[in-house]
Structure formats: structure tokens, C-alpha cells
């Protein structure tokens, strides 16, 4: 018999990387949201689920189960072929929506064929509730702040490479968090899947360890941060990067100057209400004339003012202002940030 796992144990094993996660729900259920890292082998596809649902309404549970076997049975061989390709010799963590009939049939089939299978008790629904509960777990969050162009995202990547615990919100959201944040990016995930990915990242980090997070607004593109986590970020100690304007402009040009003017125009127009008529017209005219410096001055003036206002709204337990030397490399800035973190333990506050 397959092992039935509590959701916390299932999540720990899923984070280990030693198992293959199989989602046996339909393709549309999986595409909307899933447990991060899982692969989809539907035991019943969307059309089959609809047919089983109609049978249940018209003839009851017993006939619906028969219909499910009738539809799934011919797929058993192809399901095993897919499992062979996806799983190889690795043990399997398997789930469906509620840990019911689809999980039972799938686990029986795979175990009969020789796979080592463990089931998620309560299915995806249990995982979803567990994921949401992670955002209220009190953590030692350190927020890295700084005006647009300060290079925060790159610094966080470097800190992670040096062993610091980092949650890269923009990477998980697939968006840089501004009117220009979608440039060069694919579609964003559903908010539910974003939350699931965020929860799994948090699960990989010991609760008593400091974790760096970039200073973000609640909205990142079309996505929103969970309320409980956002509240912790708002109260967390803030390390405020003060990067000189020349370096900031260089960073912005390096990141956004590569995109066609037409795309920059479209993004700039999203700021119409915030910039106002005259500033918007000046920014668009500068782009039309390929004067990126003039365009950047206008846009940066807006973002700097917005950032300054946002800083006054923080409820942080402490703000540490950090001004690197003009000739500091990114590696040197990272070293200094790590030293700052080691001195800020007394600033952490459970909220």
C-alpha cells in the first residue's frame, strides 16, 4: 500500500529534490496552479472530468465511479509510459485534488507497475492551506531598499550565491514591479501559483535564519503579496541603499535601454495619470527623438518621488542607511551588506 503523508512531511520531501512530484489532476487544474516542481499526468482529462461530473449529477456516485474507470482504464498504458519517462527509478510523490479516488487509482496503478509511491493526504487542497499558513510564520526578514536603478536584484543574486538566504520576489513573480517590469518577460503565473512558489521558497529557509527580501509594493505586476507576509516585510528592518545617480542611470540603461523604443513608449504611457500631461508629453517626445537620457530624467524623477513617499509609510523596526563608496564593485557592496546583516540581529522583531 502507498504511504499516506501528512502535508508537512510531503512538503519537506518535495523540497529535498529526491522525489518526482506527479499531479494526477486534469490539465486545466494543473495549468492554473499546482505544487511547484510537479509534473502533470492526468488520470482523467478535462473532457473526462466533465463527463464523470454529469454522470454523478444524473445517476449518482456509484455510476460516476464506474464511468471514471471506463474512461481512465484505456489510458493506463500511456500513463505508465509517461511515468517511466518522467520518473525513471526515483520515488514518486503523488497527489490529486483532495487525495480521493484519482489518487487511489493512480497510486494503485503505479505501485502495481513497480514504482515507489507516496500519497499526499488531503491532496492539493491540503497543500494549498498549508502553503497559505506559511506566510504567518514569524521570520527574521531583512529588507533591501533603494531607489530605482540601485541594482538591488543583482545584489540579492550575488548574496544568495555567497550563502545568504534570499527570496527573489521579482523572479518568482516574473515581473520587475514597475510599469516597465514586464519587458523581456513571459506571462506571469496565477496569483495562487505565485503564492505556492513563495511558500516553497520559505519552507527551504530555516525559520531562525535571516532572509533578505527586496523592498516591494504589495503589487508586483498583476500579482499581490500575501497580506501576512507583506505585513512582516513592512515591519522588518530596512537596509536603505544610497547609490549615486550616475550609477543608477547606468544600471537602468543597461537593463532597459536594450528594448525597442516602441516598447518603452507603450510602458511610459502606462504612467500617464501619474506623470501628468506635460511630463508625459515630454517623456514621449524624448523617446521619439531617441533621447533616452532626457526620457530617463523624467521617469526617474517620478519614481524617486514615489519611492520617497513610500518610505515615509513604512512601519519598520529600524532603518539602516548604507552609502557604498563610488568605486565599490558589486562584490564589495555585497560583502558590506553581509556584515551589516550580522550586526542587525537585535533589530529583528516578531510581529
Q: CA-CA distance, 169 to 163, in Å (whole number)?
A: 18
Which is catalytic among the residues 15, 87, 96, 267? 96
Secondary structure (3-state) at 291: coil
User: What's the DSSP call for residue 165?
Assistant: E
Q: CA-CA distance, 301 to 278, in Å (whole number)?
A: 14
Task: Answer yes or no: are the C-beta atoms of 166 and 154 closer than 8 Å.
Answer: no
Strands 223-224 and 219-220: antiparallel
Task: Answer yes or no: are the C-beta atoms of 283 and 268 closer than 8 Å.
Answer: yes
Task: Answer yes or no: are the C-beta atoms of 82 and 41 closer than 8 Å.
Answer: yes
Helix runs in 88-148, H state only: 101-112, 123-133
267 catalytic per annotation: no
What's the first-to-final CA gap in the chain, in angstroms? 44
Q: CA-CA distance, 31 to 299, in Å (whole number)?
A: 36
* Cα Rg of the chain, angstroms: 25
Residue appearing with cell numbers 501528512:
6
Catalytic positions, please?
96
Amino acid at each position: 500500500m502507498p504511504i499516506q503523508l501528512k502535508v508537512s512531511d510531503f512538503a519537506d520531501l518535495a523540497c529535498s529534490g529526491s522525489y518526482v512530484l506527479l499531479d494526477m489532476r486534469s490539465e486545466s487544474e494543473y495549468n492554473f496552479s499546482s505544487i511547484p516542481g510537479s509534473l502533470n499526468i492526468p488520470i482523467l482529462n478535462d473532457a473526462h472530468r466533465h463527463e464523470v461530473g454529469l454522470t454523478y449529477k444524473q445517476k449518482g456516485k456509484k455510476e460516476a465511479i464506474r464511468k471514471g474507470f471506463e474512461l481512465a482504464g484505456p489510458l493506463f498504458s500511456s500513463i505508465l509510459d509517461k511515468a517511466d519517462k518522467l520518473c525513471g527509478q526515483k520515488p514518486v510523490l503523488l497527489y490529486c485534488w483532495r487525495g480521493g479516488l484519482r489518487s487511489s487509482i493512480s497510486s494503485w496503478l503505479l505501485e502495481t507497475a513497480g514504482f515507489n509511491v507516496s500519497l499526499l493526504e488531503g491532496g492539493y487542497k491540503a497543500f494549498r492551506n498549508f502553503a497559505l499558513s506559511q506566510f504567518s510564520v514569524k521570520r527574521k526578514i531583512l529588507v533591501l531598499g533603494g531607489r530605482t536603478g540601485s541594482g538591488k536584484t543583482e545584489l540579492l543574486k550575488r548574496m544568495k550565491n555567497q550563502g545568504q538566504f534570499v527570496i527573489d520576489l521579482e523572479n518568482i513573480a516574473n515581473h520587475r514591479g514597475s510599469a516597465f517590469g514586464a519587458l523581456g518577460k513571459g506571462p506571469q503565473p496565477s496569483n495562487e501559483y505565485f503564492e505556492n512558489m513563495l511558500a516553497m521558497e520559505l519552507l527551504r529557509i530555516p525559520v531562525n535564519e535571516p532572509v533578505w527580501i527586496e523592498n516591494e509594493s504589495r503589487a508586483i505586476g498583476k500579482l499581490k503579496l500575501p497580506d501576512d507576509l507583506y505585513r512582516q516585510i513592512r515591519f522588518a528592518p530596512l537596509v536603505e541603499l544610497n547609490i549615486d545617480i550616475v550609477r543608477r542611470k547606468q544600471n537602468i540603461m543597461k537593463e532597459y535601454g536594450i528594448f525597442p523604443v516602441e516598447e518603452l513608449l507603450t510602458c511610459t504611457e502606462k504612467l500617464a495619470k501619474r506623470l501628468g500631461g506635460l511630463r508625459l508629453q515630454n517623456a514621449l517626445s524624448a523617446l521619439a527623438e531617441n533621447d533616452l537620457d532626457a526620457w530617463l530624467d523624467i521617469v526617474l524623477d517620478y519614481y524617486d518621488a514615489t519611492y520617497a513617499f513610500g518610505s515615509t509609510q513604512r512601519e519598520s523596526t529600524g532603518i539602516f542607511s548604507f552609502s557604498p563608496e563610488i568605486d565599490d564593485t558589486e562584490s564589495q557592496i555585497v560583502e558590506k551588506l553581509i556584515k551589516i546583516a550580522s550586526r542587525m540581529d537585535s533589530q529583528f522583531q516578531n510581529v
